[in-house]
Chain A
């Protein structure tokens, strides 16, 4: 390289000072293989062998090595006084936390508690004909919608819940029209979802849903025997009715307007493959393997689920393994919880999944308006209230203002107890950038919104699943790597999770 033209050799641009590099914020976890998983604050990660990790933390990495450059490029170390690495980290951090922008986006309206099913894992439905007592009134609905529009979010998602919301379809109709009317002034992007077992579905309802582009989220727990045992109803025909109505709804609204969710009961644990196969057979392209909600059992026994966390983990792994094998055999099918975690691990983007955020989505991401006008920090918070625990009641649409409800002490306490970056047992965990907190779960199962991690089923589950996913990604299996990347970068997140 000709110096006479004014060019300088590489050394001229190298380290200018003799002082060693600084470590930037990171967390780590030792792996069974002896390697160490190193994760920065925004989820960028790498595996280092034990000796490289040792050299890294002792400021002894050779500045000419690729490991050094890897650590520097991932903002794990800095070797100058420049503030730019911190600026870049800050920008990435802001992106990861941008699910907070716009405040509460998902608004649940419990339009009735009445239901024709009597699922044992449900604590909130009532099999009754008493309309007056458990249905939301028009006045309550209007006040709740008015509150919703006080949220600054540009995208607002209205989800109708129950009970069985279709049993109060008149109110759904009224509320959709009222919200759309308000929205001519508001100009938000408004979306409607009905979470329904579909059994009261009529053609007239489908016409209305098509007119207003309403999504359907229904429940399918697996093959006939599992589904009907999980979801009892008079006549023991829930499975048959559900499938028939999924077909009708798909035909009327379009295939992708109908999604299903499953709940894992003790019985489900025995049938991971059959449950997946049922979803494939019914032409769904994904499944969300959800553990049962603790509310109910928890109150009585302080136990998380009717089964142990370990049993759910084994079930989940078996099911995921089956999903991967299906894909190997050419069947494109996705597990949604893995997708959420993988998106956090493999992309710089946030995920709008409210049940695993830091701070927790309760109140700041999602809010539930109960049939009687009570406002709760989440669906789980109102389930807890049905069990007699009103700890997470934010107020009532008839009694409190927006400021009192969303700026009150209950919501503040929830936020304070749900930043995993600062929670005992979480703050030093390598999985912090991928995880979140569930203060209501910990209140219900441990009597404290912060909770104790070593005995937390929530922590046990998420730790195990994240370890499992990292293990699969790091196993050298190119097919899995490619498949997981596809899931992580897929644009079509299920509508209940996207925000």
Chain B
């Protein structure tokens, strides 16, 4: 609301008011409408964005029209405890947030192209997640939905079946897989039995016709058998719609575990090339996320995507001279601060 607030301003019809101004005396009692005043800046918001106002004055931005990377944070809880988790879970009872999620979906611009559902582990909402997807189908029929899940609860075939039953036509579940054997994967996600549950989860989703994506984070514990993992994916998950190799984001748990996880992308470029080619040569759809082109063999540049969320993406000063910058995935802001490859350097001429 842009007009100048005065004691006479009618707030009728507003669900709430955010203002940088100081609240004029006498306004609040006139209308039953929450108002947060003296907000420092509202420049990041635009018409049709969605925010949540907390009674303590905390304003959370839930949806931005201008962003391609909107996500619904389904829950803070998780049943895994991954060594490199970028959003460390919190063991809180947030089951009452479901109604907020459902309300949010009603408010989102139906022209939105894609929306993520993440967490925490969204499937911990159990039927709540099914409600959310059903609501998306109803209110956002043109919006692709991408759920980021560890897939473990899809071990229960009925749950996979229920998700499929919603009949959402543009739904994908992205599920991380870190190794071709159970103990290695279980160690990385710090949960015994997780590999088995995830693998069965993949199969159940595939069986019920839900599109799945396999996500592999590349770090010191995964890169040495990356091509073996690619083979395992091809043999056991050939129905996967997409396989993504993702560079490490040095936030969350990756920070305390950095010595266990860190490997310079330059040092595993050949393993990444082999694994990418292995899948691509067999007709699978492969992407490389969160890698800088100067750390990748040119033969796999074509699989590198500009994937980092707009608000997390940065480049180094040295990158300003690079001719490949327009095509480069860039860095996570966090990785720029924490640690990045020692082989970052500009291409003066674009490699053929």
Taken together as a complex, chains A and B put the C-alpha atoms of A84 and B193 apart, in Å, by 10
* With known contacts A6-B81, A10-B187, A88-B203, A73–B232 Cβ distance under 8 A: yes
A155, CB-defined interface residue at 8 Å: no
Within 8 Å CB of B212, what residues of A?
none
B5 / chain A contacts, CB cutoff of 8 Å: none
Q: Does A15 contact B (CB under 8 A)?
A: yes
Nearest B residue to A9, CB-CB: B187
Chain B residues, CB < 8 A from A485: 281-282
> B253: which A residues are within 8 A, CB to CB?
5
Does A8 reach chain B (CB closer than 8 Å)?
A: yes
Query: Does the CB pair A489–B228 fall under 8 Å?
Result: no
CB proximity of B153 to chain A, nearest CB, Å: 15
Which A residue's beta carbon lies closest to that of B228?
A73
The answer to whether the Cβ of A274 comes within 8 Å of any Cβ in the partner chain is no
Are A348 and B199 in contact, CB atoms less than 8 angstroms apart?
no
Task: Return chain B residues, CB-CB under 8 Å to A84.
Answer: 182, 196, 199-200
Known: A13-B183, A13-B192, A489-B281. 9 other contacts (CB 8 A): A7-B83, A8-B187, A8-B190, A66-B225, A69-B184, A74-B235, A82-B182, A82-B193, A82-B196
- Residue positions of B touching A, CB distance < 8 A: 81, 83, 180-184, 186-187, 190, 192-193, 196, 199-200, 203, 225, 228, 231-232, 234-236, 238, 253, 256-257, 259-260, 281-283
Q: Return chain B residues, CB-CB under 8 Å to A348.
A: 234-236, 238
- In the complex, what residues of B have CB within 8 A of residue A1's CB? 83, 256-257, 259-260
Q: Which of A41-98 contact B (CB under 8 A)?
A: 42, 44, 66, 69-70, 72-74, 80, 82, 84, 87-88, 91-92, 95
Of chain A, the residue at the smallest CB distance from B81 is: A6
Number of interface residues of A (CB under 8 A): 34
Residues of B within 8 A of A15 (CB): 183
**Docked-complex contact B83 and A73, CB < 8 angstroms:** no
Find B282's partner among A5, A70, A80, A347 (CB 8 Å cutoff). A347
Which residues of A from 6 to 47 have beta carbons under 8 Å from B?
A: 6-8, 10, 12-15, 42, 44
Asked whether A7 lies within 8 Å of B190 as measured between CB atoms, the reply is yes
Q: Which residues of A contact B192 (CB under 8 A)?
A: 13
- Interface residues of chain A, those whose CB is within 8 Å of chain B, are 1-2, 5-8, 10, 12-15, 42, 44, 66, 69-70, 72-74, 80, 82, 84, 87-88, 91-92, 95, 347-349, 482, 485, 489, 491
Q: Is the CB of B181 within 8 A of A72?
A: yes
The answer for the CA separation of A70 and B180 in the assembled complex, in Å, is: 9
A489 and B187: CB pair below 8 A?
Answer: no
A70 to B283, CA, bound (A): 23
| Least Cβ–Cβ distance between A312 and chain B, in angstroms | 31
Tell me, in angstroms, the Cα distance from A95 to B235 when the chains sit together.
11
Given A1-B83, A14-B183, A91-B203, the answer on whether A69 and B228 have CB atoms closer than 8 Å is: yes
Given A13-B183, A14-B183, A73-B180, the answer on whether A489 and B282 have CB atoms closer than 8 Å is yes
15 CB-based A-B contacts, threshold 8 Å: A1-B257, A1-B259, A2-B256, A7-B83, A10-B187, A69-B180, A69-B184, A69-B225, A72-B180, A80-B182, A82-B182, A84-B200, A348-B236, A489-B281, A489-B282
- In the bound complex, what is the Cα–Cα distance between A349 and B141 (angstroms)? 34
Docked Cα-Cα span, A44 to B83, in Å, equals 32
Docked pose: A491 CA to B283 CA in angstroms: 10
Interface of B is mostly: helix
A268 to B187 CA separation, bound complex (whole angstroms): 61
Shortest CB-to-CB span from B220 to chain A, Å, is 12
Q: Which B residues touch A73, using CB under 8 A?
A: 180-181, 228, 231-232
What is the chain B residue whose CB lies nearest that of A488?
B282
Whether the Cβ atoms of B186 and A13 lie closer than 8 Å is yes
Partner of B203, one of A7, A13, A80, A87: A87
Query: In the assembly, what is the distance between CA of A85 and CA of B200, in Å?
Result: 10
Which interface residue of B181, B183, B190 has the most chain A CB atoms within 10 A? B183
Known: A1-B83, A1-B260, A72-B181. A88 touches B283 (CB 8 A): no
A66 — nearest CB in chain B belongs to which residue? B225
Expressed in whole angstroms, the Cα–Cα distance for A482 and B278 within the complex equals: 11
Query: A72 — which chain B residues lie within 8 A by C-beta?
Result: 180-181
- Residue of B with least CB distance to A346: B282
Expressed in whole angstroms, the Cα–Cα distance for A23 and B235 within the complex equals: 19
Contacts of B236 in A (CB 8 A): 88, 91-92, 348
B203: A residues at CB distance < 8 A: 87-88, 91
Across the A-B interface, the 9 shortest Cβ-Cβ residue pairs: A73-B180, A84-B196, A13-B187, A13-B186, A10-B187, A1-B260, A2-B256, A72-B181, A13-B183
Closest B residue to A84 by CB, please name it: B196
CA distance A491 to B193 in the complex (A): 37
Q: Which residue, A10, A13, A87, has most C-beta atoms of chain B within 10 A?
A: A13
A403 CB, nearest partner CB in chain B, Å: 31
Cβ–Cβ < 8 Å partners of B193 in chain A: 82
Q: Which residues of B contact A69 (CB under 8 A)?
A: 180-181, 184, 225, 228
Which A residue sits closest to B203, measured CB to CB?
A: A91
Query: Nearest B residue to A95 by beta-carbon distance?
Result: B238
Which B residues are in CB contact (< 8 Å) with A42? 235
CB neighbours (8 Å) of B256 from chain A are 1-2, 5
Q: Which residues of B contact A91 (CB under 8 A)?
A: 203, 236
Q: How far is the CA of A491 from the CA of B238 in the complex (A)?
A: 15
Return the contact of A44 from the options B190, B235, B282 (Cβ within 8 A). Answer: B235
Does the CB pair B183–A489 fall under 8 Å?
no
Chain B residue at minimum C-beta to C-beta distance from A482: B281
User: Among A2, A5, A70, A92, which residue has its beta carbon within 8 angstroms of that of B228?
Assistant: A70
A305 to chain B, nearest CB (A): 36
| Measured CA separation A327–B183 after assembly (Å) | 44
* Chain B residues near A82 (CB-CB < 8 A): 182, 193, 196
Residue in B181, B182, B187, B231 whose beta carbon sits within 8 Å of that of A12 in the complex: B187
